[in-house]
């Protein structure tokens, strides 16, 4: 009996090993890169050893201590320079597996409702976010504020945030980081293109007809409102797993991942090592919310893709361990019964 149990434990281990091998990237996986745009990027030194994907003109450079830097965005998020090589690695691996890549861009008109100067009579114009705001906020009115239901709900909950002008269409700030290696076959959507509506989620984005790197691109809502939205575009690819990366963890990345779960694409993973947030406190609370909503949040210490996929694989095996144990137990019972029957037949025939 002990030999039988050992045999089945070995078989069980082999099955789990094969399952781990199947955890690698597949053509039915999708990568969603959220808002990796210049307005959200911190200042980074120009590195002559790294070729940018497009020219960074002198008016977007700054000199400090004899060195040249790309200027920080109007809504720069700390640590964003560090995620570019990580996301590029994800892009490279997805390309190798011929898996689809989706990219979202904040794409605002100059008078967009999410900007601090709309609804705020006393905005100092320092570049700092405004909020949280609500009915009880002094010097805050309804003039120019967003009228989408999400914004209305946040306002009524005294948790609405307004932002410095950012990602104004056709500007350097609205363009993808020059160091992000966007494949030509990526599916790109633009969101927040209506002056009265905002969308943290990439699923409020519509397919662009413009071409990377979106130089002098002023595509507006009259065009984008007629285009297919991200949810439709992802469903067309028939993916089973969606990996979400980008900026910012506590706002657009969070809402995009939650909406992905609601869209029922399959399993949704938030890759924390390839994302950055506005503040540590809101990032931590956002990760808890993501878990509650069914998004699988990976360990931020796992940076290499192989480590992330191994983590995902092991967590899925743990989730299925009880099922495997039941299967193993059933097989043990069946084979033990068959062994007993064969033994009885052997004894009878031996007489």
- Its sign, for the CA torsion 85, 88, 93, 96, is negative
Strand partners, 63: 68
**Rounded to an integer, what distance in angstroms lies between the CA atom of residue 91 and that of residue 181?**
8
**Rounded to an integer, what distance in angstroms lies between the CA atom of residue 201 and that of residue 258?**
9
Tokens found for residue 217: 């691109």
- Its sign, for the CA torsion 242, 245, 250, 256, is negative
* Distance, first Cα to last Cα, the chain: 25
CA distances for 55 relative to 46, 67, 174, 215, 317, angstroms:
11, 18, 15, 10, 46
**Rounded to an integer, what distance in angstroms lies between the CA atom of residue 40 and that of residue 180?**
13
| Between 118 and 254, the higher pLDDT residue | 254
| Interacting residues of 210 by C-beta distance below 8 A, sequence separation 6+ | 188, 217, 219
The backbone region for 210, taken as left when phi is positive above 0, alpha when psi lies in -120 to 50, beta otherwise, is: beta
Residue 336 has pLDDT above 80, yes or no: no
Tokens found for residue 97: 């597996």
User: Over pLDDT 70: what percentage of the chain?
Assistant: 87
Strand partners, 207: 189
Looking at residue 287, the DSSP 8-state letter turns out to be H
Looking at residue 216, the DSSP 8-state letter turns out to be T
| pLDDT at residue 318, rounded to an integer | 66
Comparing CA positions, the residue from 181, 199, 209 lying closest to residue 33 is 181
Residue 4 has pLDDT above 60, yes or no: no
- Taking only the tens place, the pLDDT of each residue in 222-239 is 999 999 999 999 999 999
- Model confidence at 131, pLDDT cuts 50, 70, 90, reads confident
**Rounded to an integer, what distance in angstroms lies between the CA atom of residue 303 and that of residue 306?**
8
Residue range 63-76: average pLDDT?
94
Tokens 């052997």 map to which residue? 346
**Rounded to an integer, what distance in angstroms lies between the CA atom of residue 100 and that of residue 241?**
11
Pairing of strands 29-34, 241-247: parallel
- Taking only the tens place, the pLDDT of each residue in 178-214 is 999 999 999 999 999 999 999 999 999 999 999 888 8
Residue 321 has pLDDT above 70, yes or no: no
Residue 142 has pLDDT above 80, yes or no: no
Q: What is the mean pLDDT of the chain?
A: 88
Pairing of strands 61-64, 267-276: unpaired
CA distances for 332 relative to 18, 137, 298, 325, angstroms:
21, 67, 35, 10
Helix, strand, or coil here: 295? coil
Residue 114 has pLDDT above 60, yes or no: yes
Strand partners, 189: 104, 207
- Model confidence at 18, pLDDT cuts 50, 70, 90, reads very low
- Model confidence at 125, pLDDT cuts 50, 70, 90, reads low
**Rounded to an integer, what distance in angstroms lies between the CA atom of residue 110 and that of residue 323?**
55
Comparing CA positions, the residue from 192, 223, 265 lying closest to residue 32 is 265
Cβ atoms of 113 and 197 within 8 Å: the answer is: yes
Helix, strand, or coil here: 126? coil
Neighbours of 7 (CB within 10 A): 12
Helices (H) and strands (E) in the chain, counts: 8, 12
- Taking only the tens place, the pLDDT of each residue in 75-92 is 999 999 999 999 999 999
| pLDDT at residue 262, rounded to an integer | 96
CA distances for 319 relative to 285, 314, 322, 324, angstroms:
24, 9, 7, 10
Cβ atoms of 244 and 270 within 8 Å: the answer is: yes
């Amino acid at each position: 009996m002990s030999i039988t149990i050992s045999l089945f434990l070995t078989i069980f281990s082999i099955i789990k090993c094969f399952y781990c091998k199947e955890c690698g990237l597949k053509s039915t996986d999708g990568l969603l890169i959220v808002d990796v745009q210049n307005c959200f990027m911190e200042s980074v030194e120009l590195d002559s050893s790294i070729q940018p994907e497009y020219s960074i003109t002198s008016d977007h450079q700054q000199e400090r201590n004899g060195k040249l830097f790309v200027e920080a965005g109007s809504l720069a998020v700390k640590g964003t320079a560090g995620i570019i090589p990580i996301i590029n690695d994800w892009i490279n691996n997805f390309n190798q597996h011929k898996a689809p890549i989706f990219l979202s861009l904040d794409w605002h008109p100059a008078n967009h409702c999410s900007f601090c100067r709309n609804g705020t009579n006393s905005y100092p114009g320092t570049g700092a976010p405004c909020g949280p705001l609500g009915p009880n906020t002094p010097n805050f009115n309804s003039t120019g504020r967003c009228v989408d239901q999400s914004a209305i709900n946040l306002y009524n909950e005294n948790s609405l945030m307004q932002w410095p002008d950012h990602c104004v269409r056709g500007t350097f700030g609205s363009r993808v980081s020059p160091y992000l290696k966007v494949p030509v076959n990526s599916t790109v959507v633009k969101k927040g293109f209506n002056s009265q509506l905002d969308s943290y989620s990439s699923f409020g984005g519509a397919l662009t007809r413009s071409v990377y790197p979106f130089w002098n691109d002023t595509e507006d809502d009259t065009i984008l409102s007629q285009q297919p939205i991200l949810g439709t575009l992802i469903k067309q690819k028939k993916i089973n797993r969606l990996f979400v990366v980008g900026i910012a963890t506590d706002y657009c990345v969070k809402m995009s991942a939650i909406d992905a779960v609601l869209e029922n694409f399959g399993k949704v993973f938030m890759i924390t090592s390839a994302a950055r947030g506005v503040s540590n406190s809101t990032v931590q609370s956002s990760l808890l919310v993501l878990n509650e909503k069914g998004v699988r949040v990976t360990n931020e210490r796992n940076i290499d893709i192989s480590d992330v996929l191994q983590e995902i694989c092991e967590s899925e095996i743990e989730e299925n361990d009880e099922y495997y144990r039941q299967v193993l137990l059933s097989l043990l019972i069946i084979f033990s019964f068959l062994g007993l029957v064969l033994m009885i037949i052997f004894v009878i025939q031996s007489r």
